[in-house]
Structure 1
Amino acid sequence: MQRNAYFDNARLLLILLVVFGHMVQPFTDNSNGVNTIYTWIYTFHMPAFIFLAGFFAKGAGNKEYIIKLAKKLLIPYIIFQVIYSGYYFLLGRDNWMTDSLFYPHWALWFLFSLFCWHILLFWFKKLPPVLGMLVAVQIGLLVGYFGQIGQSFSLSRTFVFFPFFLLGYWVTTEQVMWLRRKSVRIISIFVMAAVAIGIYYAPEIKTGWLLASKSYGDLGLPQYGGIARFMVYITAGIMAASILAWIPRKENVLTALGSRTLYVYLLHGFFIQFFRETNFFNVNSVFDLPLLALVATFIVLLLSSKPVLGVWQPFIEGKMSILKKTLTQKRAGENAS
């Protein structure tokens, strides 16, 4: 698929919010303002990210595609499960050893779920879009009633977030661009502001509803959790649409970094876990957040850089094209001199 600056810009913004959200999380208990920003981000950043992943899943279904996808997602998943286990050991954590490969470390659930979403498409793309969406949402609502479905195999998140992936699969570029209409953008401002105000003044909201990794019983609503999750679906959908309405369509100097978000996603955990383990930052109010925003931006820029890509490409993509190209250019320069 030909690259579109809008989608690269969107992925870049969302991965920045992923990193920033992970940096902010340890300080949510100290300030209602910090907690509001953190929760506000979590209402949309993963649903929007997953929606975009579904949008670019147009080739799903055939055997060759699934094999290629397994190499792209499952092999890095296994590699980083091992790497993060070793990293946690070096940080002195007692729980550095995973129960199994099917209990994802921290953010690695996304790789496993992404592979599963592509597999689910094999059946769901045969259904009419509206029926498929209704079935996907119904499954997402039902799984919360089963306490056995949790973080193992990333099953809970796989089923709960799948409707966003499926929606991304069905929509067209023209339909996404409809969000950028002036009327939609004006409405989105009020939506985003209303959600932020609601989070700030509402009783404590368990972020577990947004993380989608726990059952309704664990979240305190064993009987009426389906209603609560349905409201979360509505909020997440409206918020994701509101954010996407403001993504610039034109290419800029940072647009290309949007094609490197997988590297940032997999590698930023080394920074985040170090910061958390060492209490590197101290944030007591919302006014301390600009520093974290700058650090998050630096991390994204660093992990999107060509040197980092060159070093980690063998682990993430299973090839060494960047290193080979760099060495070839270096030799050519030496021969020329």
Structure 2
Amino acid sequence: MSGRSDQSRDSFFLNLRFLLIVCVFAANALEPLIDASSLANRWYTWIFMFHMPLFVWVTGYFARKNLKGEAGAKALLQIMVQYIIFQSLYSLLDTAFFHVQGVHHSFFAPYLLLWFLASHFCWRLLMLAMRRVSLAVQLTTSILLGTLAGYLPFEGTWLSISRTFVFLPFFVLGYHMTYEKISFLLTPRFRAAAIAGSLLMLAAAVWTSAHLQTGWLYGSMTYTGLGHGEWYAGLIRIGIYLLQLAASAAFLGFVPFAAGWLSRMGSRTLYVFLLHGFIIRGAASSGIYAYIHTTFGTLCVMIVACLLTVLLALPAVKRAVHPLIEPNVGWLFIYANRIAEHFPKSRGVPNRMQSKS
């Protein structure tokens, strides 16, 4: 392939990642309005049809670069440290200012958006465990686990266990995805059809927002919690998977190929993800949403969310909070290796974390 195509391999996924973080910010900003504004409810439902499945999918794609060996061990350590830092920060601020109802302040119950870090850690471990079997087996197993997760006898927010299994199929698909596998789909004809399909789904959200419980799209609730204690409730999960796949494929039509400012912003989405919750929770606790009643107000919320996404993705923000968002875990890695050296070696393989998987 040409050098330009090689460059586009990652730029397409980076562009997608930035568009998705815009959707994440917008959806979370709209959430306090969904009971009061039909427009907010419809946009919120539409975004939730695709934004989490696609975000997990693109996360799986980038995980293939550092899943195994020393790079994989360091990635797991960094996710763990990020989780500890931000679980502590969000919990402290929630106790002092936010006071979100129904939140359990425990390291075993991720604070709202931090479920993604806990699940990402688990997805990597699960992929390592399944890496020696075929894609068909991985996908079948992940769909089965995602379907069975709804039958859990307890709330799935603990350790993010429900979302981990529900969204695992998208991580598996992303891990095995390559630019070549999707490039033939993204022809001008497909892109036009995909955009039209996505807009039709937005229009359909007028109906689905009244008939589809968004809890099905969250992936964190049990079937009983969703009001479906029937033995066949898992079939509804299969239907939701099909809906999410269709909505996700349709949204790909909006994603440009070319590398540029969008790609550069896409390389800093972690900063937006971990920081935007402070803004959302701060705005919600301030009472400002009580003054937003009109369609114009809802549109303003979405516009402000888009502008703040761009702001948080600027290089200056990365320079300011880099040690907090991407903490250096090299010292932990060295320390873990030193501990490992004290354990007996087996089968002649050095007992060191950096040995290749």
Fold shared per TM-score above 0.5: yes
Select which of 294, 307, 311 maps to 1:298: 307
What whole-Å deviation, never above 9, does each CA across 1:118-158 have from its counterpart, x for those lacking one? Answer: 11111222221122211111110111011325100110000
Contact 2:223–2:233 (Cα < 8 Å) also in 1: yes
> For the structure 1 residues 204 and 36, does the alpha-carbon distance in structure 2 shift closer, same or farther, using more than 3 Å as the test?
same
Q: Is structure 2 residue 259 aligned with structure 1 residue 251?
A: yes
Does residue 278 (structure 1) correspond to residue 286 (structure 2)? The answer is: yes
- 1:278 is displaced (CA, Å) by 1.3
The aligned counterpart of 1:43 is 49
Corresponding residue number in structure 1 for 2:327: 318
**Counterpart Cα distance in 2 of 1:165 and 1:21:** 21
Matched, 1:178 2:184: yes
Q: Choose which of 159, 165, 169 in structure 1 pairs with 2:175.
A: 169
Shift of 1:299: 1.6
Equivalent position of 2:217 in the other structure: 210
1:28 aligned partner: 34
Structure 2 unaligned blocks of 5 or more: 1-5, 330-357
Q: Write the deviation string for residues 138-197 of structure 1: whole angstroms up to 9, x where unpaired.
A: 110111011325100110000000000000111211112233123322332343234233
- 1:288 Cα deviation from its structure 2 partner: 3.0
Match for residue 329 of structure 1?
Answer: none
| 2:250 aligned partner | 242
Q: Partner of 1:214: helix, strand, or coil?
A: coil
Q: Deviations over 1:50-92 (max 9, x none)?
A: 1001111214553423321222211010000111112113315
Identity %: 33
Alpha-carbon spacing, 1:61–1:255, altered in 2? closer, same or farther (3 Å)? closer
Task: State the 1:6 CA deviation.
Answer: 1.4
Question: Taking structure 1 as reference, are residues 251 and 91 closer, same or farther at Cα in structure 2, changes over 3 Å only?
Answer: same
Show CA shifts across 1:14-47 (max 9, x none): 0011001000011111122221110000000010
Question: Please, what TM-score do these two structures have when normalized by structure 1?
Answer: 0.88
- The secondary structure found in structure 2 opposite 1:245 is helix
Following superposition, which runs of at least 4 residues in structure 1 exceed 4 angstroms of deviation?
94-98
Cα distance in structure 1, aligned partners of 2:113 and 2:52: 11
Give CA deviations for 1:245-292 in whole Å, capped at 9, x if unaligned.
Answer: 220111233320100001110000110001111122443344433312
Whichever residue aligns with residue 275 of structure 2, its letter is L
Report the Cα distance in structure 2 between the residues aligned to 1:286 and 1:135, rounded to whole angstroms: 44
Distance 2:50 2:170 in 1: 11
Q: Which runs of 5+ in 1 are unaligned?
A: 321-337
Tell me the equivalent position of 2:297: 288
Q: Kindly report the root-mean-square deviation, in angstroms, between the aligned alpha carbons of the 2 structures.
A: 2.2
The match for 1:333 is none
Q: TM-score, normalised by structure 2?
A: 0.83
SS in 2 for 1:213: coil
Of 304-313 and 19-28, the range deviating more from structure 2: 304-313
Per-residue deviation, 1:95: 6.3
